[in-house]
Chain A
Amino acid sequence: MKQRALWSAVLVVGLATAGCGSASDTGSSSGGSTDKLVVWDWKSGEPSAKAYIEKAKADFSAKHPDVTVEFVAQPFDQYYTLLGAAIQSGKGPDVMLFNGGGQIRDRVDALVPLDDYVAEDKQRLAGWDAFTKDGKTYAGPVTLQGHPIYYNKDLYAKAGLDPASPATTWDKFLADCAAIGKVGAKCFALGNKEGAGIQFWLSALGSGVLTAQEYDDWIAGKRDWNSPNVKRVFQLWKDAGDAGLNNDGANSTAMFNDAFALFQSAKAAHVIGLMSDVGHWKDFNEFLTPDKLGVMSAPVVTAGTTPSLAYDGGIGYAVAKWTSDPKLAADLVRSLTSTEALQAFYAEAGAIASDTTIDVSQAGPAAATIVGQLKGGKPALHVALSSKTLDLMGRVSQQLLSGSISVDEAVKQLAASDQAG
């Protein structure tokens, strides 16, 4: 009996100590020792990223032979949930992968500003803005992500249009769509089940609708939701839906990958796709063949605007503030963004890498057009919005398509959300 009482007491004390702790404690620092770095991402497990990771590791171990690097590939679905838990407990990986924009900006409290460490890379790499908040850079860009408008040259030819010169104005574009409709194809392949379709729409077409001044103000955070041109973007979205330019059931079509499949199977002539990862030129090249895939600039809606490619840093590696040696971790980020590693990533995964010195002439005309537009490109409009506003925008975009909300009401809700957050 005594023995049992003793064990129980041990159990009580043990469990009580284990239970101690506070949910909001982020001050304690842990993370690795100086001879090992842990990296979290959702890429390193993919076969297409193998060469990239190997090159980066080799580059890093040449500089720091006594430090081991461990890559932990997390499932993307759960990535930010797991990361949130790690941030909350103040322990976790030393280096971690982020999507540019809201996902990293919401979490900069847990990151180390990298400006002092990556100064030499600033010129060579593009896409820094997506990883910058309040003038400080928090990650080194790996790929560029943007929203080119892809079109099917074959369908253009069938509809009696010139595949080499797609429409440059909105009116001409609508006329082209009418011609394409006559040969039994839809104008746009649109998947808005996740509410992502409107983000692509806003960013791909925005440069032809907003004036240069409005565009720059939007990116700088001075967003005038009452501007007629901002409303025009959402009006066009609704009009395109009402006019039947999109595939049927856009609100229940998943963008990844049902909408892209519609484009690849020539059931729709245009799709606003991505530059890297999925739904991009490399995927489309495989189905449509490189010479039938075109990339067009946004048609001009507001006279006097100059359309530009919308792109940002797509994914990039950041350094956690609890790491014991930020300089060492930043060196790993630099290795992960070295020209050799990024060259391998471009070649294997088909991503448009952040390194502008890589030669892409082998990848077909679409990729060449995209890279050619990088110089005049601007940050994507939707990336400047908070994840909360983006979530709301997804829902109101579905309401706009189903007709249960007016454009004015939609813009009003978005303005309230944008200004609150």
Chain B
Amino acid sequence: MPIGNVQPSVRPVSSGRTDADPVAAEATGRHRGTRPRRSRGGARAERFAPYVLVAPAILIIVVLRLYPLLLGVNFSFTGDGERNGTVVGIDNYLELLDDSLFRTALGNVGLLVLLLPVAVAIPGLLATFIYLRVPGHRFYRSVYFFPAVLSPVIVGAIFNLLLAFDGPVNAVLGAVGIGPVDWLGDPDVAMFVVVGVHIWATFGMALVVFLAGFATLDSALLDAARVDGASLLQVIRHVIIPGLSRTIAFVAVTTMVGMLTSMFGLLYVMTSGGPEGSTYLPEYYIWIQQGQMNRPALASAASTVLFVIMLVVGLLQVKLLRRAGGED
């Protein structure tokens, strides 16, 4: 942790500087009174110096992050509407458990975790192809990145048009004799469609990270594998994946965070949580309860649950990153 490191490194430097600058020490001493008291005071100031130096950072975290967090948790134990401000214990949490919509939202979080390997594999594979210089790789490199610069609202609007029941995608399917699919109106399909669009819209960033990872890969290993007659699959399995383990872990972490925190815009534009409530995620649920249902305390309870989930996922991922880092 940074705090542990700060203390030893700061103290010698700062005390050394004061010692080496007797003029300055004297100058301050002249205002403060007698010499012995001054040096004792100076020593005390130096003892507190590290705390003072880290104080701004800690204070910002405590006051602007932890304190509001505690307020929110505290607020989640109060009531809404007529019971505004009164303590209701865990009523809000019981209501959440009882709400099938919130359970759907949590189930969808589980689905996102299950789909994570796909979301990591797609940019990984495409980056591999670019790295192996398939024909037109320069063109693909820029094209793949293009969706990453579009806002989720624009992406959502584009796919709303494409995936409309009487839209072009169904027209193409119809032309080859496959019946139309109600992409955004079928509860069994809609969530996968939204996740798919999210992956499409964001994989460019992961692709760039992968390409940066490839830059560190020892090409001699690849050449050696080729000389030994390894197939493409064997090269990927035995050379590229082990060589990129840290990059893969990093992409997995950032993709997971992205899926859990930034799908609101897409959901809002593409499905509004529907059809039949099948595409709810916790953050959308929180927004609905706070903004549409006027239930801020219930929304706080849902936020607290989401926070705990993110905490667990985050800690697991930090562990994963550490382990991947340790492999080297």
A interface residues with partner B (beta carbon < 8 Å): 1-2, 4-5, 8, 11-12, 15-16, 18-19, 22-26, 78, 80-81, 84, 88, 106-107, 109, 193-195, 248-254, 258, 387-388, 391, 394-395, 398-399, 402, 404
C-alpha spacing A252/B300, complex, angstroms: 30
B91 within 8 A of A: no
Given A5-B48, A81-B291, verify A193-B63 contact (CB < 8 Å). Answer: no
A388 and B293 form a contact (CB under 8 A): yes
Please give, as numbers and ranges, the residues of chain A lying within 8 Å of B272 by CB-CB distance: 193-194
Contacts of B143 in A (CB 8 A): none
Contacts A5-B52, A252-B275, A398-B276; is A80 near B292 (CB within 8 Å)? Answer: yes
* Contact pattern, B 140-179, Cβ under 8 Å of A = 1, otherwise 0: 0000000000000000000010011110000000000000
- Extra contacts, 4 of them, besides A8-B55, A22-B71, A249-B182 (Cβ < 8 A), are A19-B68, A24-B85, A252-B184, A395-B101
Query: Which of these binds chain A: B73-81, B203-211, B249-257, B316-324?
Result: B73-81
CA distance A18 to B60 in the complex (A): 12
- Asked if residues A19 and B63 are in contact (CB atoms below 8 Å), the reply is yes
Expressed in whole angstroms, the Cα–Cα distance for A109 and B287 within the complex equals 21
In the assembled complex, the CB of B27 is this many whole angstroms from the nearest CB of chain A, namely: 13
Q: List 20 A-B contacts (CB under 8 A).
A: A2-B45, A5-B52, A11-B59, A19-B63, A22-B71, A24-B297, A80-B294, A109-B82, A194-B274, A248-B166, A249-B166, A249-B182, A249-B185, A251-B186, A251-B276, A253-B165, A387-B292, A387-B294, A398-B275, A402-B185
B296 within 8 A of A: yes
Within 8 A of A (CB), among B4-32: 14, 28
Docked Cα-Cα span, A23 to B76, in Å, equals 10
Contact at A88–B186, with CB atoms within 8 Å? no
Query: In the complex, are the beta carbons of A402 and B187 less than 8 A apart?
Result: yes
B residues whose Cβ falls under 8 Å from a Cβ of A: 14, 28, 42, 45-46, 48-49, 52-53, 55-56, 59-60, 63-64, 67-68, 71-72, 74-75, 78, 81-82, 84-85, 101, 160, 163-166, 180, 182-187, 271-272, 274-277, 287-288, 290-294, 296-297, 300
Classify the interface of chain B: helix, strand, loop or mixed: helix
In the bound complex, do residue B185 and residue A252 qualify as a contact, i.e. CB atoms below 8 Å apart?
Answer: yes
Indicate the member of A1, A194, A388 with the most B CB atoms within 10 Å: A1
| A4: nearest chain-B partner, CB-CB | B52
Q: Give the residues in chain A near B274, CB-CB below 8 Å.
A: 193-195, 251, 394-395, 398
Smallest CB-CB separation from A81: which chain B residue? B291
B38 to chain A minimum Cβ distance, whole angstroms, is 11
Chain A residues positioned under 8 Å from B187 (CB to CB) = 398, 402, 404
Which residue in A1, A26, A109 is a CB contact (below 8 Å) of B45? A1
> Which A residue's beta carbon lies closest to that of B101?
A395
Determine how close the nearest CB of chain B comes to the CB of A97; give it in whole angstroms: 16
> Within the complex, which residue of B72, B84, B185, B290 is in contact with A109, where a contact is CB–CB below 8 Å?
B84
Residue of A nearest to B287 (CB): A81
Q: With A24-B85, A387-B294 known to touch, is A252 a contact of B182 (CB < 8 Å)?
A: yes
Using known A-B contacts A24-B84, A194-B274, determine if residue A1 contacts B165 with beta carbons closer than 8 Å.
no
**Alpha-carbon distance A8/B60, docked complex (angstroms):** 12
Pair A23/B182 contact, Cβ less than 8 Å: no
Q: Quick check: B166 and A391 within 8 Å, CB to CB? A: no
Establish whether residues B55 and A11, one from each chain, have CB atoms under 8 Å apart when the complex forms: yes
Question: What's the Cα separation between A250 and B274 when bound, in Å?
Answer: 12
> Within the complex, what minimum Cβ distance (angstroms) separates A417 from chain B?
11
Is A193 within 8 A of B52, CB to CB?
Answer: no
Query: Chain B residue with minimal CB distance to A2?
Result: B45
Decide: A402 near B180, CB < 8 A? Known: A1-B45, A391-B292.
no
CB neighbours (8 Å) of A11 from chain B are 55-56, 59
Which of B28, B56, B67, B277 has the most chain A CB within a 10 Å cutoff? B277
B205: shortest Cβ distance to chain A, in Å? 27
Within the complex, what minimum Cβ distance (angstroms) separates A328 from chain B?
Answer: 27
User: Nearest-CB distance from A269 to chain B (Å)?
Assistant: 17
Instruction: Check A23–B74 contact: CB distance below 8 A.
Output: yes
Q: Is B291 in contact with A8, judged by CB distance below 8 angstroms?
A: no
Residue among B28, B53, B64, B274 facing the most chain A CB atoms (10 A cut-off): B274
Does the CB pair B52–A402 fall under 8 Å?
no
Do the beta carbons of A252 and B165 come within 8 Å of each other? yes
Contacts of B184 in A (CB 8 A): 193, 252
Contact call B164/A107, Cβ cutoff below 8 A: no
Cross-interface CB contact of A24 among B75, B160, B271, cutoff 8 Å: B75
Q: State A23–B185 Cα separation when bound (angstroms).
A: 39
- Report the bound CA distance from A388 to B294 in whole Å: 10
With A2-B45, A11-B55, A80-B294 known as contacts, the answer to whether A23 contacts B84 (CB < 8 A) is no
Q: Which of B48, B56, B78, B294 contacts A107 (CB under 8 A)?
A: B294
The answer to whether B46 touches A1, judged by C-beta atoms less than 8 angstroms apart, is yes
Residues of chain A with a CB closer than 8 A to B48's CB: 5
